[in-house]
Amino acid sequence: MKDCNCIFCKIAGGEIPSATLYEDEEFRVILDLNPASKGHSLILPKEHYANLFEIPEDVLGRAAGVAKKIGAKLLEGLHATGLNVLQNNGVSSGQTVFHFHMHLIPRYDGDALGLAWKPGKLTEADRDEILGIF
Ligand code: AMP
Ligand code: ZN
Q: Which atom of ligand 1 is nearest to the CA of 7?
A: 19
Average pLDDT of the chain?
A: 96
Sign of the CA dihedral with 92 first, then 30, 62, and 46 last: positive
Alpha carbon of 128 to ligand 1 centroid (Å): 37
pLDDT at 124: 98
Instruction: List, for the chain, all residue ranges whose pLDDT scores fall below the cut of 50.
Output: none
pLDDT at 32: 98
pLDDT at 4: 73
- Asked if 40 is an active-site residue, the reply is no
- DSSP calls for 76-114: HHHT-SEEEEE---SGGGT--S-S--EEEEEE-TT----
pLDDT at 115: 85
Q: How far apart are the C-alpha atoms of 115 and 91, rounded to whole Å?
A: 17
Neighbours of ion ligand 2 (CB under 5 A): 3, 6, 8-9, 48, 99
Contact between 107 and 38 under an 8 Å Cβ cutoff? The reply is no
Alpha carbon of 8 to ligand 1 centroid (Å): 9
Q: How far apart are the C-alpha atoms of 3 and 9, rounded to whole Å?
A: 7
Q: What is the dihedral of CA 121, 127, 130, 132, to 10 degrees?
A: 180
Q: Which atom of ligand 1 is nearest to the CA of 86?
A: 3
- What is the length of the chain? 134
Q: How far apart are the C-alpha atoms of 134 and 128, rounded to whole Å?
A: 10
Alpha carbon of 131 to ligand 1 centroid (Å): 35
pLDDT at 72: 98
pLDDT in tens, 31-45: 999 999 999 999 999
